[in-house]
Chain A
Amino acid sequence: MDELIEKMAKIQEIDPKLLKDLINLEQEKVHLQKRRNVGKEILEIIDSYIEEQ
């Protein structure tokens, strides 16, 4: 899966770590019936990615 993520990230010219962080976020919430605040957490991840850039 990691290889695939890296491949897709490369095509879209983004850091694979960003995709992995986003997937991990969802992985932690996937078993929850109500996934709260996902949008907010996605924003946080993207913000921190922009900052790092």
Chain B
Amino acid sequence: MSFTFKKLTLNNWRCYEGTITLDFPEIGPEKNLIVVNGINGFGKTSLLKSLKFLFHGSGKDEILEAWNEASRNRGEKNLSVSMEFMHDGSLCKIIREVEFKTRGNTALGSEKLTLIMNGNERDQAADKIAQWLPTDVQQFVFFDGAEISRYAKKQHDQGVKDAIERVLGIPAIRNLRTDLERFVEKLEEEQETLLGVGGKSQSLREEIDDLEALDQKYKEDKNTFLEQKSGIEETLSDLEKEATKIEVIEVERKGLLDKKARRADLQTQLSEIENQISQYIRNAPLYLLLPKLRGIETKFKAKVQIPPRQDKWEKLEVVLKELIERDENCLCGREIDDESERHLKEELSTVHSTLEQMKVQSGIPGKSEIMGKLIAVSQIISRFGDGLSGGNQAMGKRASLNLRLDEIEKDINDINAKLEGHELVEIQELFRQKADLKSRLEEVHEKLGSLKENMQKNADDLRDKKRGLDQITINMEQGKILVKKLDIARRSLAAIEALLERAIKEKREQIEHLATDVFTSITNKPDEYSRVRVKEDYTLDVIRKDGTSIDNTKLSSGEKEVLAYSFITALNRSSITPVPFVMDTPFGHLDGIHREKLLKNLPGLEVQVFLLATDRDLPLNERDKIDASLAGEFEIKRDQAAARSYIEEVK
């Protein structure tokens, strides 16, 4: 690890009154984690801010805000942050101090930055530090864990994109290309001066001018085509996502047709059952009265042993009549129709006459005769019972059919809601647009291919002509060395141009590969997600196993954090200058499983990792999971009476 923090000293910094020193323990492979525990409000973020201030300074207002209040009140007029660290084998120390001058109620701080390397103070400290840790790269190494999900956004602003390329070392190569172009131009101007006007070289130079003009035009065309390509690809990507949704919707649409067919089938069955039920109601309406009749039968059986009283019988008859004659009598929502009522009255009349006979005979008990009457009553009841049983089954079936129809109706409504706004015509239009864009993309690819050939041919011609010019120059005094320089500069430029193109591609692929490794090892959906795609503008896509991509806005907050974390760690590992990683409250939205997997991943970072954590980030019962990678631990404490925070090493 070429960059490791050794000792941080804070003086009158924010909530840390006086001098606070943190001696960081040695770290080693797989043991790179340093935890600073602290509950909310005790000073974790102040610690993070001290690092940002140390490396890149602060604005005037921020410096005033950082000046510890108690020391200020005591009349102390300075604050400072310093760090000792190892960088590429050198022991370095950065000290950033502020001297305050007060006038009345206002104060103004003047900042001083010192860099000491191996015991010697270095000039141009700010430049050197910016070289180790560029300002815009800071956001990827010292950060609030809860905010990293912004790297899972659909778009990056130019600042973020530039910072990412800075981490990867791309701007230096880009600058070199520009500088070599200028350098070659300058040498060619010298060559032109040396060759003078006219002569054999004149026509060659004119041809070169024409070829260069053509090359310039080709370059402009190439940029135009690349812009078109990028625009088409972007639109196509949006359409692909829309098409994926539509494909799902199309499946739903087919499902809708199936459900509608099923509904029609169930409705037919329901209609049949309704008819059966009507039949039952017409044929056996009395089963509504079955409980009452059973009561009569029970009581009648009792009367066989105990002589009945006239008034009881009359009461039972009244009940039966009322049940029949009351208008509100109904069965499952159906009023008893005339035919049913007539049938009911007939049956009742049978019961009535049977009961009357039994009343007459009750004075002269003839047991067998009474039993015969009882059997007659029981048969009537039994007939009603049969009606009841068949009717019950039919009604049970009807209820079940209604339930299934309700469910299907709900499904149909849900699908209809999903299909809303996706009329078939629109879908066809979308697929037409997609096909159109694909064909336009192919055209642009063809144009680019043919342009590439033309450019190559032009470049070959240009090179030959320039060689011809060089041959003329080489025979002149002073010409030999100039041609040699030109040759090397042109070759270097050609190598750098190719390197730039390849480096951007390879770095992006490297980040993609590393981010995929981290993401798939942390995500809770390893069977669903296959990889992370890093697009040309460094925005991210999660790709499912079926090859479709997920709209990042659809990811949960925790998933976005995991995605962004995967990207940032991949960036750190692809960086040309790896820097210690400092995360404040890193696991804000993560569940226990994500947190555990992420903790397991931290040792793989191969840099010092600082976790500024609350007990929610690292719960007590999960501490054992970081034991193997824990190099050291600190705790931020607070003297609340004195309103000051301090830090102790946890032994």
Footprint of B on A, CB under 8 Å? 1, 4-5, 8-9, 11-14, 18-19, 22-23, 25-32, 35, 38-39, 42-43, 46-47, 49-50
Contacts and interface: CB of A to CB of B under 8 A. Distances in A.
Contacts of A26: 172-173, 175-176, 179
B65 interface: no
A35 B175 contact: yes
A4 B183 contact: no
B319 interface: no
Contact of B498 (A11, A22, A27): A11
Contact of A4 (B134, B186, B481, B502): B502
The 9 closest A-B pairs by CB, nearest first: A31-B130, A26-B172, A12-B491, A8-B495, A12-B495, A27-B172, A26-B176, A30-B172, A8-B499
Nearest to A30: B172
Contact of A50 (B175, B180, B488, B503): B488
B60 interface: no
B499 A4 contact: yes
Contact of B127 (A9, A32, A43): A32
A6 to B, nearest CB: 10
Nearest to B498: A8
B553 interface: no
A42 B506 contact: no
Contact of A11 (B175, B176, B186, B495): B495
What bracket does the count of chain B residues touching chain A fall in? 20 to 34
Contacts of B495: 8-9, 11-12, 14, 19
Contacts of A9: 495
A12 to B, nearest CB: 4
Contact of B176 (A1, A23, A43): A23
Nearest to B129: A31
Given A42-B180, A50-B485, A19 B127 contact: no
14 contacts: A8-B502, A9-B495, A12-B492, A13-B491, A23-B172, A23-B176, A26-B175, A26-B176, A27-B169, A31-B127, A31-B130, A32-B127, A42-B489, A50-B484
Contacts of B298: none
Given A8-B499, A12-B491, 19 more contacts: A8-B502, A11-B498, A12-B492, A13-B491, A14-B495, A19-B496, A22-B176, A22-B496, A23-B172, A26-B176, A30-B131, A31-B130, A31-B131, A35-B179, A38-B175, A39-B183, A42-B180, A43-B183, A50-B481
B399 interface: no
A28 B485 CA distance: 23
A14 B492 contact: yes
Nearest to A42: B183
Interface of B: 127, 130-131, 134-135, 166, 169, 171-173, 175-176, 179-180, 182-183, 186, 481, 484-485, 488-489, 491-492, 494-496, 498-499, 502-503, 506, 576
A50 B482 CA distance: 11
A13 B130 CA distance: 34
Nearest to B170: A30
Given A31-B130, A31-B134, A4 B175 contact: no
A13 B490 CA distance: 11
Contacts of A23: 172-173, 176
Contacts of A42: 179-180, 183, 489
A33 to B, nearest CB: 10
B503 A1 contact: yes
Contacts of B169: 1, 27
A30 B180 CA distance: 15
Nearest to A22: B176
Given A30-B172, A43-B183, A4 B491 contact: no
**A-side interface mostly:** helix
Contacts of A39: 179, 182-183, 186
A35 B485 CA distance: 22
Nearest to A28: B131
Nearest to A10: B495
A5 B499 CA distance: 7
A31 B495 CA distance: 23
Contacts of A13: 491
A30 B131 CA distance: 8
A3 to B, nearest CB: 9
A33 B509 CA distance: 30
Contact of B171 (A11, A12, A30, A49): A30
A17 to B, nearest CB: 12
A19 B39 CA distance: 51
A14 to B, nearest CB: 5
Contacts of A12: 491-492, 494-495
A5 B166 CA distance: 18
A5 B179 CA distance: 18
A49 B502 CA distance: 25
B127 A38 contact: no
Contacts of A19: 492, 495-496, 499
B488 A18 contact: yes
Nearest to A24: B172
A50 B492 CA distance: 13
Contacts of B492: 12, 14, 18-19, 22, 46
A39 B180 CA distance: 8
A1 B134 contact: no
A14 B481 CA distance: 17
B127 A1 contact: no
A28 B127 CA distance: 9
A14 B489 CA distance: 10
A43 B482 CA distance: 11
- Which of A9, A14, A31 has the most C-beta atoms of chain B within 10 angstroms of its own C-beta? A31
Nearest to B179: A38
A11 B134 CA distance: 33
Contacts of A31: 127, 130-131, 134-135
B237 to A, nearest CB: 28
Contacts of B506: 4
Nearest to A47: B485
A46 B179 contact: no
- Which of B186, B484, B495 has the most C-beta atoms of chain A within 10 angstroms of its own C-beta? B495
A29 B175 contact: yes
Contacts of B183: 39, 42-43
Nearest to B185: A39
Nearest to B176: A26
Given A42-B179, A42-B183, A1 B489 contact: no
